[in-house]
Structure 1
Amino acid sequence: MTCEEVRMSLGVRALGALDPEEALEVDNHLATCEACAAELLELEDVTSFLGKVSERDVELVASPPRQVLDRLLDDRARRTRRGRMLLLSAASVAALVVGGAVWTAVTGDGPHMTAASAPERATSSDSAASSGPADAAASTAEQPAPLADQNNELRATGDPLPSPSALPTKQRKQAVAGPEFTGENAADGYHATILAWPAENGTELAVRLRGVPDGTPCRVRVAAGGGRRDVTDGWVAGDDGHEERDAFKTTTGLPLADIVRFDVIDDRTGKVLVRVKVPGR
């Protein structure tokens, strides 16, 4: 048996529910594999968790309420619409930046023309001064006004233009959704949808279950290349004690690019409820 096959059976072995032949194969593998043996030690307290199961937990075995599923679908649709609006806003800002750049390029010759014509105005001012004090005063009052007006107009049209660094980069990041992976346990009628996106120290996950009995304690066991494993924080299926949200959000230390599989497991027995594979890996 491979390490992966053995680790799939460790929870059942801890409960003593394996067939004799399969139990013998698992024991032979554990005798030669330190990694699998170490994982078995972590499952020694599984039986103590079973003692915490009450009759109320058994009574909660039922399908999720219809109103809960409807609320999850409505929240998902609202997030999709909000993401589209953010993309449209970013596109509008980009169009304003391009338009401002074109306007600046078209009107950019104004200062050069004004500077080139300044000597001519100075020459005409000198000639007006030689004509008389009254003419010089009138010429001086009339000539600087167009230059000041042009400079003020250039400043007025240039200041409001947004720069590329002023774009709402944070909103653009929020509009980008991570990949979505789905899995199904047809025998038990369980379904799982996992959204994943890269985080600073690993990968952020959003897990949504359907068909899993209410009150089932769950975790996600994340598998990556090279035999690496990680187990996320736990939650209870159908528990409305969490904040109003459509999925349980958690993190894993494994990079998204290395993940090959997600296993939603029963935290009491270690049984795999739903297996979600990453396509192409």
Structure 2
Amino acid sequence: MNTLRAWLAPVRPTTPVADPRERRAIVVELVIVFTVTLGLAGLRSLLSLLDSLLRPEPLSEQRVAINVPQAELGLLDLLRQLLGAAQLFAWGALGVYLLWRTGIRLREIGLDRERRGKDVLAGAGLAALIGVPGLGFYFLARAVGANLTVLPSTLDDSWWRPIVLTIAAAANAWAEEVLVVGYVLTRLRQLGFGENASLVLAAVVRGSYHLYQGFGGFLGNVVMGLVYGRYWQRTNRLWPLVVAHTLIDVVAFVGYALLRDHLGWLP
């Protein structure tokens, strides 16, 4: 019973920042970081969903692609894909740097390398826990008209496609898990938010920048955020989340690219 209570209603492990100036600085920092990164992406995603809802065809008959060509020439496309991934890695690095600058060590958010084997195994387990039901939920949401048809990749067949898609998967995982788990949950603790309140807020932020996929994409990612965020709050390990997210996206991106021409039921 105590274990269940600890998972459902954990106690905030840190003392909130008391200095009003420091608290204001944290709020300003959060606004700036998420305006530059995933917060602005969430607003664009909301506008994309509204545009889809205003079209005459139902959501399930509309398509949206995640990894798309960026240039006509293959070499330029490759370079632009890599630049996009570099931006995502930089977003995550920004969150880590800002925490480090205020005296928070990598070990305190679970980004040290002392438990690499256990972190990889835990990540594989979390990937299965979210990935398999998540795929079923996507098909259900699409069947009831609550989700667009998502194309994980429309990149042309080339020698670098699986490499770029794998890098893109790792970049997405790094940016999202660092910012919406390690960074934002740490900052909300410093502001005095309870563990459950901060968990829900972070999960909604995660869902917001997936709204372009439809209501199913939003809800599915909110659930993912609740599970992953609570795992971090209880274990203080961030690497398993990065590993899990990477594995899910690699399967989605690379698997779809390799199988779409061989399985007729794939869009």
The two structures have a TM-score, normalised by structure 1, of 0.24
User: Which structure has greater strand proportion?
Assistant: 1
User: Which structure has greater helix proportion?
Assistant: 2
